[in-house]
Structure formats: structure tokens, C-alpha cells
Amino acid sequence: MRLKHLPSEFQEALPILKKIKAAGFEAYFVGGSVRDALLNRPIHDVDIASSSYPQEIKQIFPRTIDVGIEHGTVLVLDGEREYEVTTFRTEDTYVDYRRPSQVSFVRSLEEDLKRRDFTINALALDEEGNLIDKFAGLADLEQQVLRAVGIASERFNEDALRVMRGFRFQASLGFKLEENTRLAMTSCAPLLEKISVERVFIEFDKLLAGPFWRRALLSLIESGAYHYLPGLKDRGQALEQLLEETKSDTQFKTSEQAWASLILALDLTSARPFLKAWKTSNDFQKKVEDLVSIYRIRQQGPLEKKDCYRFSWDLLELAEQIRQEAGLEVNFDLLEQTYQSLAIHDKQEIVVNGRLLIEEFNIQPGPDLGRMLKELELAIVEDRIPNEKDAIMKFIKELDHE
């Protein structure tokens, strides 16, 4: 098969391929970018595989960076663009079900492609648009099948993260799992416990963000792989509940919204311990926790001004969308009206500060002043007093005499 028109991303990278070939080596576009080009999907990173060894690449190009030279990868700088060029390689036995104990550079494209995870990712494209398909990846693309390269159990035993990658590709592409591949993913799922949580999080996060996340999550549930994910052991029923309680066309707007929906389905009292087990950032934890809090406050009725003041508008909107996707009553207009009617959206907007109160009322800095400022802040938010100096001074004076 030959592509008549190379996508612009490949055309921009053609000089790299041609320069490598002019030096006497083979060079091809490989992996996900080729797959996405064939599916008319957006292309993100253009990866290049070559028969040239890292030191040979460094001799061909004047500007390079050693980003993973021990594994054969050199970053080639071409004007404003960067391209990873990786030497054809084979891999020895894997240690800890993730990393090969040794990488051997080879001159054979087929040897390089056979070590890849799925047939649809084991495709290569030359500079003229000719497709190199050694493992029937094109047929699997046409039939929308996700199939492991070679012996499926070997691929997942080599790198157990491929189990999660399989579910993630299902979420992004909507493909069905080929039977031997599905069985191998199921049998190798316990090995996920040996993979770093951070890497598993990336794949699970992409799964939830995918357009076909429901299909992928169902496959994950059926495989039992969730037992080996942080905080999800024996929680298959709750995961099924996430599917049941969201509309069939639900697409999460952000990662935080997806994880908040997951936590609500799990009915966790606190989101933090669960998210810490996934080794997420403090900022991510805070946003997810806030979404869960907004949702639970909202269950009691419309949000009051003090509720809207606590949270940013984007989180308020995302939480209301979770209700919408669960088929619950929503009122975005009322929510926006309440938020926009706030006299202040941040305590920095209050026309007086602690220093002025100390000077005017001879109040000592400390907990009492802090409580006084908090009461002032809430009084303004609830429209009990206007955000004006005279009204604030009168309010503080009355507080000081209580």
C-alpha cells in the first residue's frame, strides 16, 4: 500500500529521513504516527526508526541531544522542530516485567517491528509513502481489531504496562480486542502490581479521557485487571455503577472531572487517600476533592452564595456537568447567576485589610484577628454588609464589642 499524500507532519520531517538515507542507512516513520495517519487522526509525535546506530546519527546531524542513547534514541534538532530517531533494536529478557535487561542494536527493520506491542503500532512508512506491514497491522486497522504482535502472552509478560495500554487504545480507537490478546491481557493483569503507579495512572487517565472509555472500562472490568490497581481491588460493582450512572454518550471534559466521577461511584468518604495511592499531584487531588465536595453539597439543593464563593467557576460548572451526565436535574443559569452576583470572588477584593483593622481598632495580630476577617469575608459574600469601608468598620466595631 502507498499513501498518495503524506500528512504535513511527515512532509516536514522528510529531510531527516532523506539525510539518513543519503548517508547509506535505512530510515522510516514508525509507530503511532503511521497508525494515526492511516486512520485520519491527528498526528502528535513523529517517530523515526533507522538502521543507523546512535553515534552514526550524531555524525549525520550537527545538532542532537542524547535523550535515551543507551536504548538507541537520539533527539535530532531541525530548526524549531525535534525528532526522536531510534536505532532498530531487539530486546533481551525483561526484568521486573517492564524493562529489557539488555538492548541490542540491529540493522533489520523487521526485527525492530516484531518487538512492538500491537500490530497496528508495528507499521512503518518510507519517504515515498510506501507502507511496510510485516504483521498484518493494516488488516487489523481495517477490521478495527487490537491484536498483539506475535505471541500475545510473551508481549504482556515482557512489559505488563502493555495490558493497560491495550485498554487505553481501546478507549481511544474503539477497537475490539482479538481473543488471544484479550486472554493474555487477562492472565497477565496481576503483573500490573509490579509496574510503577505513575505509569499505570497515565494509561488509566488516558482511558477515562478516551471517546470509547465505556467500552475500555468494561473490558478492564471483565478482565479483572482492576483488582491490581490502587484502591480498586474488589470494587468491580462500583466500576459498573460508573457505567450505569452515566449517559451512554458521556465524555469527560477534564481528567479531574473523570476521577471525581469515579470517586463518586466508589462512594469514598474522602478522595485524598485514594488519589494519594495513585501518586497524583497535590493540585490534582485538591481539584478532584473540590469537585466531589461541590457535587455532594449540590445534592442537598441549589448552591448558596457561600458555596459558590468557595470554588472557582470552572469547578462549579464541571461539577454541575457530572450531575447532567448522571441524568440529574441541573440549572446552569441559576448557578451562573449566583456566582456572578457575588460581591467579591476573592478576599483580596475586600476594601480593607488586616493592617488597617489593627491600626483603627488596636487589634493584636493573631487568631482573633483571623476569625474576625473570616466573619467579615462571609458577611460580604452573603450580602449582609456591602463591601464598603464605612459598613465594614461598623461591622468590625460591633464584632469587637461582642
Q: Annotated binding residues for Mg(2+), as ranges?
A: 45, 47
- Measured CA to CA, the distance from residue 214 to residue 239 in angstroms comes to 10
Question: Cβ contacts of residue 177 below 8 Å, gap of 6+?
Answer: 145, 146, 166, 170, 185, 219
Q: Which helix (H) or strand (E) holds 133?
A: strand 131-133
Residues composing the chain: 402
The stretches of 25-117 forming alpha helices (DSSP H) are 32-38, 54-60, 109-113
Rounded CA-CA distance 173/90 in Å is: 28
Q: Which of 271, 264, 272, 284 is nearest to 326 (CA)?
A: 264
- Helical H segments across 196-254, by residue range: 197-209, 213-223, 236-244
Write out the binding residues: 32, 35, 45, 47, 116, 159, 162, 165, 168
Using alpha carbons only, give the angle 273, 276, 282 rounded to the nearest 5 degrees. Answer: 115
Binding site listing for ATP: 32, 35, 116, 159, 162, 165, 168
| Residues 1 and 133 sit within 8 Å (Cβ to Cβ) | yes
| Signed CA dihedral, 91, 93, 95, 98: sign only | positive
The binding site for CTP comprises 32, 35, 116, 159, 162, 165, 168
